[in-house]
Amino acid sequence: MYMYIDKLTNSAKQQSFDSIFSKHQKMIRIINQQKKLWVSKRLIKHQLCQIQRATGFLGWDLGLYLVDNQAIQTLNCEYRKKNKPTDVLSFPFHEQSLTTKLKPELFTDQEYMNLGEIVLSLEYANEAAKSKNDILIDWINTLLVHSFCHLLGYDHETDSDFLIMKQKEHEIFQKLNSLGYHKQATLK
């Protein structure tokens, strides 16, 4: 059964989103490379657009690949030397050091306004959502915020980095809540 969950609650928000979405939708590419689960690409684009808006990166290029566990395991093995599936991988366009994070005001040339690519295993996300009794689209949004932070240069290799990244994720969710998104899954 396919479930479409729309977080928008009134026509004013929908009209506002439609104007933002139509202007910036070409900046967000979603490529579904799996056939196991159906999700609304339009809703995911909306969520990514809202995350971009909440972080000041509206209009920046961003790619999202929806894959299965086998595909993400191959990438995880190649790039992280971990031969197992994972939920999401992020490939930032801009290199950042451990002390600097990507800021939108640093780039005004359209050629460099690219965040990078996110690879998300819908199969893995679905299993995780089920195990946490969460709704898949809410879990996907949590993973999108998490991976977006990676694109900005945040990481969780050390305990202090983990706390800094969690704080950034929390800030993004607070901004999303002010934009009308009211659900957040818990990422552990």
What are the counts of helices (DSSP H) followed by strands (DSSP E) for the chain?
Answer: 6, 4
CA 144-57-38 angle, 5° bins: 30
For residue 172, give the CATH number of its domain.
3.40.390.30
Average pLDDT per 10 consecutive residues for the chain, totaling 188 residues: 35 44 65 93 92 89 96 96 96 71 66 85 96 93 94 88 92 88 54
> Pairing state of beta strands 114-121 and 61-67?
parallel
Position 158 scores a pLDDT of 87
Position 41 scores a pLDDT of 93
Domain that holds residue 90: 24-178
Position 58 scores a pLDDT of 86
pTM metric for this prediction: 0.79
Separation in Å, CA 88 to CA 22, 85, 119, 127, 167: 27, 9, 6, 13, 19
In a domain, 4, yes or no: no
| Burial state string for 23-43 with b = 16 or more CB within 10 A and e = fewer than 16 | ebbebbebeeebeeeebeeeb
CA distance 145 to 79: 21
In a domain, 185, yes or no: no
Position 17 scores a pLDDT of 44
Position 174 scores a pLDDT of 92
Position 131 scores a pLDDT of 95
Position 123 scores a pLDDT of 97
In a domain, 8, yes or no: no
Position 157 scores a pLDDT of 85
